[in-house]
Structure 1
Amino acid sequence: MSASHPPTAWDDPDSRSAWTKLFTWAVLGQVLWPLICVGTLLLIVGPEWPVWLCFVPLLYSAYRTVLQYRYFTEAFQIRRILREYAWQVFATPESGIGGVPGAKSGDVWLKLPNPERSDDLVAMILHGHVRSPWWRRRLGPGVKPQRKAQVAEIWFAGDVRFAGVLAVPGPGRLFLLYQRPDNGPRFRRDVHEAADEALHRARRAGVRI
């Protein structure tokens, strides 16, 4: 990581700009998807539109309306992490699909070093939602070289044992990563072995341990 990086990611104006963009899209989605859902429903009850033509957009807009609340909560969680941790820069981190604790057969993951033991790599799974496909198409085996090059260097703010924010240089494509307590003994061991300051810092960032 360059010495020019500020003490926390939030101190970087570009990071705040990237978060504002993320939050703006969350707000727009919260407004637009319900409007689309209601508008499609009104078309269905009207006599001039066939029901089958509106059925798919009605279901999808209703699904996105319900899902949109998660984008709000994740946006604020991302902000808390950016305010607590600095960006770390990693070149070509190890990644794959399935085969690690807590990952299903199609789950993409990447490994980053334990902040207290750099030789210990910890896997973080990209739990799926609408923003995850961009990352999923660029991490793991069998990815086209031009796409793989887009994540040859990544930025990470957080503690890989608990939660963090993934980004491409800039930063851009902010993506929340978090460990699930039900992933098994690895999570419990990391909590047990983590220094008190690391645990306090994670809690200040809004991570539930």
Structure 2
Amino acid sequence: MRLSKNAGGFDGPVAWETPGTRAALCRWAARLLGKMLGWTAVWLAWLYGVVIAIFSGGVAAVAALPLVVIAYLVGAQIYGLFKLWRMYRILTVYPWRQQPDGVHAERRGPRRVKAVFVLPIPDQPEKTESPEEHGGVFRIWDRVVRKGFHDELWYAGDPRFACVVARPGPKTLSYVAQPTAYDLRTSPRRKGISPEARRRARSIGARVAD
């Protein structure tokens, strides 16, 4: 299979029809679901221990603190599963593209490295945008670039709104987006959007000004 490199427009079959894409998204969802169920089991087990401590007269306040941390981890996995629908919509609307040097490692201190994506706009390939990976402390691509990534990045979507990014294959799927794409507190994009780009953006539920 050969993907387009630095291609303008939206030509080519959508990513969902590309061999390996459906399996990659299923693996991504299964891994996230497994983590959610695992942390939920830990939370319930810890809660049981706290209840036993309370009835036995033990100190339960300190023991209850990890429940907050574990609940946060469960919530993070649930939020990740919420992104599954957005990723699916992107993959069924946009084709995969290959982008050399599509992600860079930006050092944010002695120990923190952030993945910065630089992706061309489909109908204006001379221009680029930098959507950000969503996931808080669970940003997959921060770890990928920290270990070193020298392949051509795969991406599907419009970086002015939202994209799915991946290693060649596709592998290591993740979701990147602009704040203006879905956040009602921001003003939606208005200028420089072709009719086709506007149609596809609305197909994935992104906000586009009239």
Compute the TM-score of the two structures, normalised by the length of structure 1: 0.76
Q: How many residues align?
A: 192
Which amino acid is 2:123 matched to? Answer: E
Is structure 2 residue 92 aligned with structure 1 residue 83?
Answer: yes
Question: For the residues of structure 1 that align with 2:206 and 2:48, how far apart are their CA atoms?
Answer: 42
DSSP-derived class of the 2:136 partner: coil
Which amino acid is 1:119 matched to? Answer: E
2:7 matched residue in structure 1 = none
Which amino acid is 2:136 matched to? Answer: H
Deviations 1:164-192 (A, max 9, x none): 0010011111110100129xxxx979531
Question: For the residues of structure 2 that align with 1:9 and 1:20, how far apart are their CA atoms?
Answer: 14
Change (3 A) 1:14 1:113: same
Question: For the residues of structure 2 that align with 1:193 and 1:10, how far apart are their CA atoms?
Answer: 27
Compute the RMSD of aligned alpha carbons. 3.3
1:2 matched residue in structure 2 = 2
Task: Give unmatched runs, 5+ long, in structure 2.
Answer: 5-10
Change (3 A) 1:106 1:138: closer
Question: For the residues of structure 2 that align with 1:98 and 1:116, how far apart are their CA atoms?
Answer: 31
Would you say the 8 A contact 1:191–1:199 is kept in 2?
A: no
2:47 matched residue in structure 1 = 41
Change (3 A) 1:120 1:61: same
Change (3 A) 1:168 1:45: same
Would you say the 8 A contact 1:93–1:112 is kept in 2?
A: yes
Question: For the residues of structure 1 that align with 2:71 and 2:156, how far apart are their CA atoms?
Answer: 33
1:102 matched residue in structure 2 = none
Question: For the residues of structure 1 that align with 2:167 and 2:156, how far apart are their CA atoms?
Answer: 11
Question: For the residues of structure 1 that align with 2:52 and 2:188, how far apart are their CA atoms?
Answer: 59
- Identity fraction in percent: 27
Misfit runs of 4+, over 4 Å: 3-6, 47-57, 187-190
Which amino acid is 1:75 matched to? Answer: L
Please state how far the C-alpha of 1:30 moved relative to its aligned partner. 3.8
Is structure 2 residue 122 aligned with structure 1 residue 115?
Answer: yes
Question: For the residues of structure 1 that align with 2:36 and 2:73, how far apart are their CA atoms?
Answer: 9
Please state how far the C-alpha of 1:15 moved relative to its aligned partner. 0.6
DSSP-derived class of the 1:191 partner: coil
Richer in helix (by share): 1
Question: For the residues of structure 1 that align with 2:83 and 2:150, how far apart are their CA atoms?
Answer: 22
Would you say the 8 A contact 1:163–1:176 is kept in 2?
A: yes
1:203 matched residue in structure 2 = 202
Change (3 A) 1:15 1:110: same
Task: Give unmatched runs, 5+ long, in structure 1.
Answer: 100-104
Question: For the residues of structure 2 that align with 1:94 and 1:64, how far apart are their CA atoms?
Answer: 27
Compute the TM-score of the two structures, normalised by the length of structure 2: 0.76
Change (3 A) 1:6 1:181: closer
Question: For the residues of structure 1 that align with 2:43 and 2:103, how far apart are their CA atoms?
Answer: 41
